[in-house]
Structure 1
Amino acid sequence: MRYTHLGRSGLTISRLCLGTMNFGQQTEETQAFAIMDTAQAAGINFFDTANVYGGSSHRGWTEEILGRWFAQGAERRERTVLATKLYGTMTDKPNESKLSALHIRRALDASLKRLQTDYIDLYQFHHVDRNTPWEEIWQAIEVAVQQGKILYTGSSNFAGWHIARAQESAARRNYNGLISEQSIYNLLTRDVELEVIPAAQQYGLGILPWSPLHGGVLGGVLKQERDGVRRTTGRALEALKAHQKQIRRYEDFAEELGHEPADVALAWLLHQPAVSAAIVGPRTLEQLHGAIRAHKLKLDAGALKRLDEIFPGHRTAPEDYAW
């Protein structure tokens, strides 16, 4: 396993981050335990979750699964850089969502209890709160840091100007601010290259892409459909219909390289200089083994150029619109 620092921080993380969103609803607890044990044995030390994971009928379920896994001991918690998130609505009561100082305090304590730990390594804002001033947010976070409940702070689904506002407000308080931004980023969805990545690089945030295979569309979906392995539905089907020619060219190029399409998509992300770690969310051990294999894949300059030709990005960002 390869490692790097998360953004400008001194925190060492694996280049793969184990996303746990499927744990509970789609992956039962015993299988989730096996996936986490296998991930740690392979050197993955970075796990990501969120307080809302588990579904609307059981919010917090995924954190509870991680908590029971940590409770088994054998230094599982000590060997994990643990990231979770807050923002989403947990109950229908007032102050049970977003980023008010009151909700930050309540949500953090509730996550610590579910996770059976006394601190969070990376506490992330799952979305920007347009109605709460940054002075209030950072004051609440500073208190939590002083209490030893969190070590670092990150964002998720922020625009570039949200990152700038957060960091400038933190700087006025002589506070470290954000060290990471978690966004959707893959070969097919490269909007973050316009302003989010330039802002993150300017302020020293590491990018943590989620949905590296765009819901499976970049995982060899056309071949799988031809072979009767899967039938694409929902959002993935819409993306496939809109980009079928590109997907076909992509799968043909992956075959030319001699690699699985999913491996190429993940490897491409790990070649992007702004990316600290890619979040993979395996439902099965087989999917986890595939991600571990893919993270070792090296793409040469010619392959990277060809991928940019198939899926054009925004290489002149943040002034992309002007050139």
Structure 2
Amino acid sequence: MDYTHLGRTGLLVSRLCLGTLAFGPEADEPEAHAIMDRALELGINFFDTSNVYGWQSQKDWSENVIGRWFAKGGGRRDRTVIATKVYQPLSDWPNDGRLSALNIRRACDASLKRLQTDYIDLYQMHHIDRETPWDEIWEAMEVLRAQGKILYVGSSNFAGWHVAQAQEAARARHFLGLVSEQSKYNLVTRDIERELLPAAQEYGVGVMPWSPLQRGLLGGILAAEKQGRLPGNRVAPESLERYRPQLERYESLCAELGIPPAHVALAWVLSRPGVTSPIIGPVSVQQLDDIEGTLDVRLDERTLTQLDQIFPGYKTAPEDYAW
């Protein structure tokens, strides 16, 4: 396993981050625990969850599943860099959601209880809160850090100017501020190349791409379609038809390379400047073992150029649209 620093911090995390969105709803607890055990065996030390994952499924919450795994001992908690999130409301009651100081405090305590731990390594804002001032947000995070409940703060689904705004507000308070940002980023969805990626690099914020396979679109979907394996797939039919011509070229290129499409897509994300760890979401140990092989894939310049031709990206703003 390869490791890198999370943004500008001294914290070392694996180049792959284990996403746990499916733990509870799709992967039952025994399977989820087996996946996490295998992840540690493979050297993956970075796990991502949220205080709402699994909540609406009427099954188990991801944080609860992870907490019972931590409770098994064996160094599981000590070997894991755990990241969770706050923002989404869990009810329609006032203050049960968003980023007020009150909700940040309550949500953090609830996550700690579910995770059965006394600290969270990376506490992430799941969405920008345009109605709460940054001084309030940062003061709440500073209190949690002073109490030893969190170590680092990250964001998710922020725009580039949100990162700049957050960092300048933190700098004025002499606080570390954001160290990471989770954004949707893959060969098909490359919007963050205009402003978010440059902002993150400028401020030393590590980027954690989510949906690196575009919900399976980049994982060999046309080959699966030919084999009749599409029922239950997460890809919307209109999305498949929209990208079908590009996917035909893409899967043909992967066949020429002799590399599975999912590995090519992940290897591409790993090659992008500013990217720390793409978030993978296996629902079985077998899927995890298959994904782990991505780290052995190195795409040469010719292949990267071909991928750009199939799935064009963006220049940094304003050059992308002004000149």
Establish whether residue 51 from structure 1 lines up as the match of residue 51 from structure 2: yes
Q: C-alpha distance in 2, partners of 1:258/1:235?
A: 24
Cα deviation code 1:167-192 (max 9, x no counterpart) = 00000000010001000000000001
Find the aligned partners of 1:213 and 1:234 in 2 and give their Cα distance: 11
Cα pair 1:83 1:120 within 8 Å, conserved: yes
Identify the residue that residue 20 of structure 1 maps to in structure 2. Answer: 20
CA distance in 1, matches of 2:126, 2:20: 15
The secondary structure found in structure 2 opposite 1:56 is helix
8 Å contact from structure 2 (residues 195, 316) kept in 1: no
Contact kept, 8 Å, 2:153 with 2:177, in 1: the verdict is yes
Contact 2:63 2:111 in 1 (8 A): yes
Aligned to 2:100: 100
Question: Structure 1 regions of 5+ residues with no counterpart?
Answer: none
- Structure 2 residue runs of 5 or longer lacking an equivalent are none
Aligned partners of 2:216 and 2:235 also within 8 Å: no
Shift of 1:235: 4.7
Distance (whole Å) between structure 2 residues aligned to residue 137 and residue 52 of structure 1: 20
Could you say which residue in structure 2 is the equivalent of 1:63? 63
Q: 1:117 is matched with which residue?
A: 117
CA contact (8 A) 1:83 1:124 kept: yes
Deviation at 1:296, TM superposition (A): 1.8
Q: How far, CA to CA, are the matches of 1:66 and 1:57 in structure 2?
A: 16
Equivalent-residue separation in structure 2 for 1:53 and 1:59 (angstroms) = 10
Whole-angstrom CA distance in 1 between matches of 2:90 and 2:138: 22
Equivalent position of 1:243 in the other structure:
243
- Post-superposition shift, 1:59? 8.4
> Does structure 2 retain, via aligned residues, the 8 Å contact 1:200–1:207?
yes
| Residue in 2 that maps onto 1:144 | 144
Deviates more, 1:310-319 or 1:111-120: 310-319
Q: Which residue of 2 aligns with 1:9?
A: 9
- What TM-score does the superposition give when structure 2 sets the normalisation length? 0.97
Q: Which deviates more from structure 2 when the two are superposed, residues 63-72 or residues 228-237?
A: 228-237
| Letter of the structure 2 residue corresponding to residue 291 of structure 1 | I
Cα pair 2:25 2:57 within 8 Å, conserved:
no
SS in 2 for 1:243: helix
- Equivalence map 1:1-323=2 (5 Å): 1-58=1-58, 61-231=61-231, 235-323=235-323
* 1:126 partner amino acid: H
| Aligned-residue offset at 1:230 | 2.2
RMSD of aligned Cα (Å): 1.3
Paired letter, 1:109: D
Percent identical among aligned pairs is 59
What TM-score results when the alignment is normalised by the length of structure 1?
0.97
Q: How many angstroms does 1:318 deviate by?
A: 4.8
Measure how far apart 1:150 and its partner are.
0.3
Runs of 4+ displaced beyond 6 Å: none
Closer, same or farther in 2 for the Cα pair 1:81/1:69, shift >3 Å? same
Give 2:128's aligned amino acid.
V
Q: How far apart are residue 232 of structure 1 and its match?
A: 6.7
Output the CA distance in 1 between the equivalents of 2:72 and 2:188. Answer: 40
Residue type of the partner of 1:103?
Answer: N
Q: In structure 2, what is the Cα distance between the partners aligned to 1:138 and 1:12?
A: 24
Shift of 1:236: 3.4
* CA deviation string 1:3-54 (max 9, x = no partner): 0001111110000000000000111000000000000000000000000000
> Aligned equivalents of 1:35 and 1:208: distance in 2?
20
Q: How far apart, CA to CA, are the structure 1 residues paired with 2:162 and 2:83?
A: 20
Q: Residues 52 and 60 of structure 1 are in contact (CA less than 8 Å); yes or no, is this contact kept in structure 2?
A: no
